[in-house]
Amino acid sequence: MDGDRAAGRPSGRDTGPRRLAIDERGIANLARQVRSPNRDARPPGAEVTLVVVHGISLPPGTFGGAGIEQLFTNRLDPSAHPYYATIADLRVSAHFLIRRDGALVQFVPCGERAWHAGASSWRGCGRCNDFSVGVELEGSDDVRYTAPQYTMLARLVKALGRRYPIADVAGHSDIAPGRKTDPGPAFDWARLGRMLTPRVP
Ligand SMILES: [Zn+2]
């Protein structure tokens, strides 16, 4: 049984009133909106062609807390955890976060640039923030991601593909090799690929 069917949603379909859609500004209709100040304009003429998959948990290895949203909104309390003291001054964001239960949170409209990739390169083009949408999966490099996360990620990639000329989905580790490891070996790229490929009836 694959993740789509486990979640009760046949692969390749996203229809009806709960259809995930991205509007002209790049806002997802089904996402809870939490605006991050860590964003700016994409360069003139930049097309969104890449989806970057990340993994994050705060504190590392702990799921379900408020740390990720606090980090992306510059409200992380450096005294709340020893690790937070090392990252509280970062000014970072992603367009989306997919929680362990598949819930979708949006921090930056896709028409704007989020600050998720850092020093990076993809197919010879640097500064991947310029032309990518960043999607954080709540997780850890070595902990299996959940079926609802794969389902929501596949729905999101398809919805982005209906709005933008998306050509690739890559991991943070693919665009910043040697510097970043997320989403890690726990992320099943073949599983995502099956969910994105229309099945021949
Ligand atoms: Zn990352």
Q: What pLDDT, on the 0 to 100 scale, is given for residue 18?
A: 86
Give yes or no for a contact between 9 and 44, defined as CB atoms under 8 angstroms apart. no
Residue 148 has, within 13 A of its CA and on its CB side, a CA count of 10
CATH topology of domain 3-8+25-56+92-196: Lysozyme-like (3.40.80)
CA of 16 to the centre of ligand 1 (A): 32
Q: pLDDT tens-digit profile of 121-163?
A: 999 999 999 999 999 999 999 999 999 999 999 999 999 999 9
Q: What pLDDT, on the 0 to 100 scale, is given for residue 198?
A: 75
CA of 46 to the centre of ligand 1 (A): 21
Q: What pLDDT, on the 0 to 100 scale, is given for residue 108?
A: 98
CA of 198 to the centre of ligand 1 (A): 28
CA of 106 to the centre of ligand 1 (A): 16
Q: pLDDT tens-digit profile of 3-62?
A: 444 444 444 567 776 899 999 999 999 999 999 999 999 999 999 999 999 999 999 999
Q: What pLDDT, on the 0 to 100 scale, is given for residue 200?
A: 67
- Out of 47, 69, 112, 136, the active site residue is 136
Q: Tokens 């209906």: give the residue.
A: 162
Q: What pLDDT, on the 0 to 100 scale, is given for residue 2?
A: 42
Q: What pLDDT, on the 0 to 100 scale, is given for residue 201?
A: 64
- Is 136 tagged catalytic? yes
Q: What pLDDT, on the 0 to 100 scale, is given for residue 12?
A: 52
Q: pLDDT tens-digit profile of 76-85?
A: 999 999 999 9
Provide, for the chain, the percentages of residues in helix, strand and coil under a 3-state DSSP scheme, each rounded to the nearest 5. Answer: 25, 20, 55
Q: Bridge-partner residues for 87, per DSSP?
A: none
Q: What pLDDT, on the 0 to 100 scale, is given for residue 8?
A: 43
Percent of the chain residues topping a pLDDT of 90: 89
- Residue 165: asked if its preceding bond is cis (omega within 30°), the reply is no
Q: pLDDT tens-digit profile of 99-118?
A: 999 999 999 999 999 999 99
CA of 93 to the centre of ligand 1 (A): 10
Joined tokens for residue 41 = 């304009």
Q: What is the spatial distance between Cα 98 and Cα 17, in angstroms, rounded to a whole number?
A: 20
